[in-house]
Structure 1
Amino acid sequence: MIPARRTMILILAALAVCAAALVALAWRQAHADAVVRRAAITLADWPAGAPPITLALASDVHVGGGAMSPARLTRLVDQIATERPDLVIFAGDFIDGHEASTARAAAPLLTRALRRLRPPLGTVAVLGNHDQDSDPSRVAAALRDAGAVVLENAAMRAGPLAIGGVADAYSRHDRLGDTLRQLRRQPGARLLVTHAPDIAPALPRDTPLLLAGHTHCGQIVLPLLGALWIPSRYGDRYRCGVIKEGTHTIVVGAGLGTSLLPLRLGAPPDIWLLTLRGASRPATNAGR
């Protein structure tokens, strides 16, 4: 009995050490700099003669959460600025929590940090479910004070792009039809941005690109088991990364902050740098 009991104690101790190591790793990953991911996307409706542009996509900042101190927020914004994108897009959830008091506390921090961004084509943002549930007017005002354009079921032009911002579907503020009508009045290659990617199956053929966040790429993703929870009715379908579905491309970022617990495992914070361009045209022989 004594050897068996000793063996059990050793096993439990080893499991406790492994669990502590995993938590430490997850804490470190949640507080790390963002992984910079890159992709090139060709858009068939790219304006003739327009050069490619680089777009930075970030989401889920979650100011007020345990993984997003003011110092880390500044560091991440500077990381985006260092890449010198032509355009910056934030796909929602700027604050953490669902209380108006959180939005009040987060607003000046957001404004101060995001003012550091000065991309040539501007900064565009949509709100997420945390923003909508707390004080969306205050969050939007903080973003505008930082120089960002907030698109909520609205559209605008930015260089060669026509950008439509669809309000968050997770909190049921989305009006995709209204946004598309406005988008189609804008010249340029069409792009939609929203917080939760679940609107993807409803995209029409003339809107080939959707940028989103919300899922945190699962936030805690375990070997063999996968993501513990994905806040999407489609499960793993729009969990993370560049997803191709027919003529559509959906890009879902992991976000920068965390929700519920200040931990990440197997789903590090990220920033997407997307090179957008038109299709190359075959060379013609003018001598014939």
Structure 2
Amino acid sequence: MFRHWKGLLAAGLAALVGGTACWARFGETSRLVLRREEVALPAAARPFTIALFSDTHLGRYGDARSLRRVAALIGDQQPDLVVFAGDFFDAYRRDQELLDLDELAAILAEIEAPFGKYAVWGNHDRGGGAHRVYGELMERGGFTLLQNQAVALPDLGLVLGGLDDALLGRPDFSLSLEGEGLRVLVAHEPGPAAEQVPGAHLILSGHTHGGQLGLPLVRDLLLPPGSGSYAKGSYPLGEERSLQVTSGVGVTKVPARLFDPPEVVLLQIVPGQKSPS
């Protein structure tokens, strides 16, 4: 009898492990969710929305169809501003024959935002041969690529800055975000930006993939260099400052996600009360 139950238990565990692995490989990776966050910032002059997406990692494990789903989801939200936080490609030199740049640029161009579309470099855009095509592709798609640059968006009451990639690029952590109102910084890796750019009221990042496998303890071990102590979601950075990290859309290295579905983040920025002096 004991051997019978032992055999059933072993079979059940094998089925559970197999089913979980199958879901992580094919089920979770095929999802796309919208995560909504309200961010109250005293420096904000007016309410507005930002659609944040990152880490599409197009190539072996992501294609034009997945990008088209992202574009459609963003379009449904009608955001005021769209931000891409880097890693458009996974390994461009390896996967370039799988990708039609004209098609990808056309899909990016379909994304609309009345106050602009902006992007920064990710480490996979700097490496793997993608540096030769990434900048031109984003420009063709209507995105302004911010490389240690800042632009004023007076109609939204903010200054928006973007850093070069921290791992393979040359980020300028002294980038000036001077100007009236809200100061927003886009940086692919959250760790260095959160630690070295105290002047930003809001930092937008990707890179982490949420660990891809959102299991306790395991997730933190899988976070890539540059993540710092940030995995996914909203993090206060002290008084009147905030960090938003998206776990992104695609996968890299391991084509699987678990408890961490691909996402687009819709940030509702609202004016917040200032802390008493």
| TM-score with structure 2 setting the length | 0.87
- Correspondent of 1:93 among 77, 83, 87: 87
Do the aligned partners of residues 30 and 234 (structure 1) sit closer, same or farther apart at CA in structure 2, a change above 3 Å counting? closer
Structure index of larger Rg: 1
The runs of 5 or more residues in structure 1 that have no matched partner are: 282-288
Are 2:232 and 2:247, in contact at CA under 8 Å, matched by a contact in 1? yes
Query: How far has the Cα of 1:3 moved from its partner?
Result: 6.8
Q: Does 1:252 align with 2:252?
A: no
Identity of aligned residues (%): 32
State the match for 1:112 in structure 2: 106
Assess, with a 3 A threshold, how the Cα gap between structure 1 residues 226 and 139 changes in structure 2: closer, same or farther. closer
The match for 1:263 is: 256
Separation in 2, partners of 1:131, 1:254 = 17
Q: 1:240 to 1:259 in 2, by over 3 A?
A: same
Change over 3 Å in CA distance of 1:153–1:106 after alignment to 2: farther
What is the identity, as a one-letter code, of the residue corresponding to 1:20?
G
In structure 2, what is the Cα distance between the partners aligned to 1:116 and 1:123? 11
SS of the residue corresponding to residue 176 of structure 1 reads coil
AA at the equivalent of 1:149: T
Q: What is the deviation of 1:157?
A: 1.9
| Counterpart check, 1:175 vs 2:172 | yes
With over 3 angstroms needed to count, the CA separation of the structure-2 counterparts of 1:274 and 1:146, relative to structure 1, is same
Q: Which amino acid aligns with 2:64?
A: P
Q: For 1:159-198, what aligned pairs fall within 5 Å after superposition?
A: 159=155, 160-177=157-174, 180-181=175-176, 183-184=177-178, 186-198=179-191
Seen in structure 2, the aligned counterparts of structure 1 residues 136 and 152 have a Cα distance that, compared at 3 Å, is: same
Classify 1:78/1:135 alpha carbon distance in 2 versus 1 (closer, same or farther; 3 Å).
same
Runs of 5+ consecutive residues of structure 2 not aligned to the other structure: none
Aligned length: 268
Greater Cα shift, 6-15 or 125-134: 6-15
CA offsets 1:178-210 (integer angstroms, 9 cap, x no match): xx22x22x5442100010101211122x32210
Q: CA separation in 1, counterparts of 2:227 and 2:51?
A: 26
Shift of 1:269: 1.2
1:23-79 Cα distance to aligned partner (Å, 9 max, x none): 22212111112x2122222333334xxx3111111100111131x232222112101
Contact 2:207/2:227 (8 A) holds in 1: no
Which position in structure 1 is the counterpart of 2:51? Answer: 56
Q: Give the partner amino acid of 2:78.
A: R
The change in CA–CA distance for 1:255 and 1:233 in structure 2 (over 3 A counts) is: closer
> Shift in Å at residue 222 of structure 1?
2.2
User: Pairwise CA RMSD of aligned residues?
Assistant: 2.4
User: Equivalents in 1 of 2:90, 2:180: separation in Å?
Assistant: 36
Aligned twin of 1:221: 214
Shift of residue 108, structure 1, vs aligned partner: 2.8
